[in-house]
Amino acid sequence: MSQEKVIKTALISVYHKDKLDEICKKLNEQKVKIISTGGTKEFIEKLGIKADAVEDLTSYPSILGGRVKTLHPKVFGGILSRRDVLTDNEQLAQYEIPEIDLVIVDLYPFEQTVASGASDQEIIEKIDIGGISLIRAAAKNFKDVVIVPSQSQYATILEILNKGAKTTLEQRKELAMEAFQVSSHYDTAIFNYFNKDFDKPVFKQSIGESKTLRYGENPHQKGVFYGNFGELFEQVHGKEISYNNLLDIEAAVYLIDEFDDTSFAILKHNNACGLATRTKLVDAYTDALAGDPVSAFGGILITNREIDVDTATEIDKLFCEVVIAPSYDKKSIEILKSKKNRIILIRKDCNLPRVQFRTLLNGVLLQDRDLSMEGKDMMTPATKRVPTNSEYTDLEFANKLVKHTKSNTIVLAKGNQLLASGVGQTSRVDALKQAIEKAKNFGFDLRGSVMASDAFFPFPDCVEIANAAGITAVVQPGGSIRDKDSIEFCDANNMAMVLTGVRHFKH
């Protein structure tokens, strides 16, 4: 038999009616018989197009409050019958079942209902039964039947119909593939909704939106972003966002969210190379830049305030990849657009996921996002000398930074400014030495500064080096069997140390 199939009868049962009118009009022009249900049938008839009721086909009304409408052998027989199998055709004739060549379905909005904060009962009623069954049946029989499983495929079927009421095997198979993506995504959302009460150790994720990137981490690697970037940001200028840009953007967002006061951060390779909190935004930017003006070249800039002209003017002097802010005044946008490739993002008000996952070996790692942040009230003094108020302020500032810096890490800060950090070292002593050297190279006086460590000190060598550099206060999680050695050294040298009890590794 020919692989090209003519559409003679269509079953249409949808939740959303937007743009359905064009399809129905085209089907009517091409003399396709339409069978429909409830509200969809009313919609079609208001267009002046005849539609037969499913109830007339099945001889059963819609029952159980609409829970059962299409679930009937006369519907599913017409969809699942194999046109080239003699016994199937004989049974269609015996039971007066019409062949159905096209099925258009749009499922109840389950995910949107969950996101709206609806009651459990409202959510349960948005679990589609008939629709999902129609989708699977039509997709299974793609050899003979066309399936349109959601609004996303309306444009596809309209394009096909504009060339006539017939389809190729390739078209039907591609739509079947789309159908199983729709059904599997739908079932994943339902499973995850139920599983939040049971926490069954099963990993299921389904992300329907994707964007092919220029490449991955390197030009010889393919890269794809699965997700809705537009839900979080509006890009108003610049080149296409890359794989590495996305990694830096995520790190920047998580970091800046730790700060409520006017702050500006500059990141490179997921780590802050500059950050400052100031009364004026332009001062926050210039002091963040002072932390490491060399690494800032080609970096990611982010702030939690609207960017004004003064700040934009200073930013424009620097070559940077991305600028992120909640808003920009009109003149600052024009200033920043002076660089053709500079990516300018407006961050939208949107909640970020509370869990993280990534592939590893032949599986997936999943964890809760690190949402802990220890302020002064969670810092227990371990030394005879308690930090001064200004030291406490800087210890909180440094502790926020160390949480978002690659381990092993040491952060040095003073006056709500990042002086330097030692990043991703295999030894905590090396991380401290790196931070001290960087701070001195950029002209910072470390006397009176503070130090934050993402994990405990196994030996007193770090506090010994810190003391020699002029650092006066330390925050660390504690928990080493040799904490006493570091504490005793601090006591002997008038240093203050506080313990948080919370480690902040970042690998």
Active-site annotation holder among 269, 337, 339, 440: 269
Q: Which of 17, 25, 33, 140 is catalytic?
A: 140
Coil, strand or helix at 116? coil
Can you give the length of the chain in residues? 507
Q: In whole angstroms, give the CA distance from residue 267 to residue 438.
A: 16
| β 271-277/263-268 pair status | antiparallel
Q: What is the largest CA-CA distance in the chain?
A: 98
220 has catalytic annotation = no
With 0-12 / 13-18 / 19 or more C-beta atoms within 10 angstroms meaning exposed / middle / buried, residue 293 is middle
- End-to-end CA gap in the chain: 59
How far apart CA 313 and CA 308 sit, in angstroms, is: 9
Q: What is the 3-state secondary structure (H, E, C) of 412-426?
A: EECCCEEEEEECCCC
Using CB atoms within 10 A of its CB, is residue 54 exposed (0-12), middle (13-18) or buried (19+)? buried
Q: What is the spatial order of strands in the sheet that 410-413 belongs to? A: 380-381, 496-499, 473-476, 450-453, 410-413, 418-422
Number of Cα atoms under 13 Å in the Cβ half of residue 59: 5
269 annotated active-site: yes
What is the 3-class SS of 486-503, one letter each residue? HHHHHHHCCCEEEECCCC
Give dist(CA 307, CA 309) in Å, integer.
7
What DSSP character marks residue 348?
P
Q: Which residues does the annotation mark as catalytic?
A: 140, 269
